[in-house]
Every structure is written in structure tokens, then in C-alpha cells.
Amino acid sequence: MWVFTYANHHRLLVLLSRKVHTSAAVSYHRTARLLSPEDSSLKSAAWRRLRGSNRTSVQHRPDGSEGGLDRGTSAQTKNMKRETSLWEKMNQGRVSTLRVSSELRKLCLDDFIADRERQARQKSVLDSKVETHEVVFGIAPCLLALSQGRRKALKLFVKNGETSQRASVLKVCEEACRQGVQVLRVSKKDLDKMSSGGVHQGVCLQASPLSYLTEDPAHSRGTGTPLWLVLERIQDPMNLGAILRSAYFLGVDRVISSIHHSCPLSPVVSKASSGVMEVMGVYGFENLEEMVRLKLTQGWQVVGTVGADLTQTQVPVTKCLDFQMTRPTLLLMGGEGEGLTQQLRSLCQTLLTIPAGRVLHPSIESLNVSVATGILLHSLLSTRSAR
């Protein structure tokens, strides 16, 4: 009975010794991963404490068991030392890897934070003074806005990459530098947001807005009979931009627009006019009827426009090719859909039409207002006499 108990005790102590050594090795392995190589003294002290605790647990066994256990555990201790040295080598690489990884992660996080801060600063710049500034986009509008000096330019934003090396973009950047305007490089996504999806061609300019001129325009000093273009209720900015481009190209002396029920002089208009809006001033009037009456008293001829199918009118209707402009003239163009209001049409001395070149389908019986304006302007200006 005593022998059986002793044998059981011996097996239990051997198993317990292995379990203690295994847990010590695991604890040391985990500790070594957390400690840096320069903390070797701390690792040695921790290991000594673990080994000491193992010895104490073995020495307090019943009599007669110490010698066998010492001999049994000596080989295990050697094996454990060899495994420990192997763990140390492995853990040194792991610790350095963990350290590099954490540093890289820190750098990445720092980059993300800096990027977020940069975007926040850029957003604050774009949103600042939103009531007094707008974003002009496109090569020609930005270049002319910078060179003409009618706007107060704040910042020029240029797309990163090969786009910034194009000759046209470099020309805009050079003009910005001459004007003392700061140039910032941003992504295409930023430019798309600034231009609200418009075709920015890689450049956007934050600048003060343009508005209609309100002072009474002086008499033109051109070389021929003056022609002023009067626009009533043009609401589409694309149409207004195209009209301004044609008027400038063909040689119109003044462009006048109604202020109410008309689109503002926005960056979209500037882009549609290919920058003409930055060069050519547009005058705005609260009451076009009053202005037209004044010009009639000054001897100006007032010409309006109607569709080819309009027959019931008290005003003579003439084909545009048959009209001769022999004195200062106002050409009145109505808005999309409705055309001229009855008040302005009643002030016209002649109504011009553009004859169609074919029999028209009932649903296609008129021209776009910008196209019609271009045709009429060309027809009138080609016949005006020199002063």
C-alpha cells in the first residue's frame, strides 16, 4: 500500500513538474514578446524568479522524492534552456517586427490625420466668405477673370498631375502669379466639387462675383451705327452665355438685360460664354420698358422678333434679310418659350422673322433663343452703315 502510494506520488510530481515548466515557458514566451531587446535584465530577473518558484515547489515534496525528481528534471531543464534560447531568437525578430509595424501604423495614422486636417483646412478656405466669393471654372474664364481685373481673385486651384503641365494651364498659373494670386494644387475630385460638376478643364478660381452694371450706359463710340442688344427674361445660363459670346464676336456695342426673371451672371454663364462675360459688361435694368421709351425719344429704332407664324399684329413684320439698319438700333429678344412680353412688343417699330428653309414639323417651329440671336445680329450688323 505504501509502495503504491509512493509510486502515485512520483507520477503526480513528475506530471506537476512538467506542467509547471510548460506554464513557466509560456509565461516567459509571452513576457519576452512584450519586452524589448534592451530589457534583457528584466527578462533574466523574471526567468530567475520563475525558476526559483519551480525549485521551491519541488523541494517541499515528501522525503525520498527529492533526488529522483532532481535527476528527472535536470534533463528537462536543459531541454527547456535550449527551447528558451530558441524562443529568445524567435522573439527578438518578432519584437522588432512588432515595433516596426507599430511605427508604420503610427505613421499611417499620422498621414491620415494630416490628410484630414488638410482637407478640413481646404474646405474651410473654400467655404470662407461664401457670400462674397464664387468659383469660376474653365481655362478661358479663369484667365480672363485674372487678366481683366473686374473681379477680386483670391485663390487659383489647379489639378494635380499632367494636366498642370499643359501650356494653357501654365498660362493661367503665370497670370495668377503676376496678379499675386496664390496657386494651390488639388485633386480632380476637389475641382469637380468646386465647379459643381462643370467642365473645369483642370482649373478653378475663387473670386468675387460679377453682377449687372446698373449705371446708365453712355452712347457707344464704335465705328458704325450703334446696335444694342436688349434681353428680356433669359433664364437659362447656357443660353445667356452663348448670346454674350455671339454678341461680342459680331460686334454688338452694348448688352442690356432685365434684372427680374433673368438668370444672374454666374460662373456657368461665364463658362458658356467662353470667358466673354469677364470682358464684356452687361447692364441690368429694373424697367426695360422705361429705357426703351427713352431711346425712342432720342431717335433710336426699336426692332423686335416674332415667330414666322405670327400674323395678327399691328406692327410691320419683315424678314431679317430684308431689313436695313440705317440708324442707332435696339434689338429686343424675348425669353425662352414666351418671347417678348406684350408691353415691349408694342413699343417695337418693326418685327423681324427668320424664314425657315423647309416645311417644319408642328412641334419644331422655332429656333433656340441663342441661335436666333446670333442669326439676327449677323443679319443686322452686316447691313449697318458707317457713321
Give residue-wise pLDDT tens across range 270-280.
999 999 999 99
* pLDDT computed for residue 60 by the predictor: 45
Instruction: Output the average pLDDT for the chain.
Output: 77
pLDDT at 18: 55
| pLDDT single digits (tens) 312-369 | 678 899 999 999 998 999 999 999 888 899 999 999 999 999 999 998 888 887 899 9
pLDDT for 148 equals: 96
Helix (H) or strand (E) holding 302: strand 301-305
d(CA 202, CA 197): 12
Please tell me the distance from the alpha carbon of residue 313 to that of residue 317, in angstroms, as a whole number: 8
For the beta carbon of residue 254, count every other beta carbon within 10 angstroms: 21
For residue 64, pLDDT beyond 70? no
Q: Is the pLDDT of residue 265 over 60?
A: yes
pTM passes above 0.85: no
By the 10 Å C-beta count (0-12 exposed, 13-18 middle, 19+ buried), 352 is classed as buried
The predicted-structure confidence for 137-179, as pLDDT tens digits, reads as follows 999 999 999 999 999 999 999 999 887 789 999 999 999 999 9
**Cα–Cα distance, 17 to 58 (Å, whole number):** 8
Domains in the chain: ranges and CATH? 2-106 (no CATH), 134-207 (3.30.1330.30), 227-381 (3.40.1280.10)
Give residue-wise pLDDT tens across range 174-185: 999 999 999 999
- pLDDT at 218 (0 to 100): 54
What average pLDDT does the segment 14-24 reach?
Answer: 51
**Which is nearest to 289 in space by CA: 336, 220, 232?**
232
Q: What is the pLDDT of residue 10?
A: 53
What pLDDT does 217 receive? Answer: 52
Q: How far apart are CA 280 and CA 307, in angstroms?
A: 29
- Taking the C-alpha atoms of residue 161 and residue 178, their distance in angstroms, rounded to an integer, is 23
Distance CA(47)–CA(28), nearest Å, equals 7
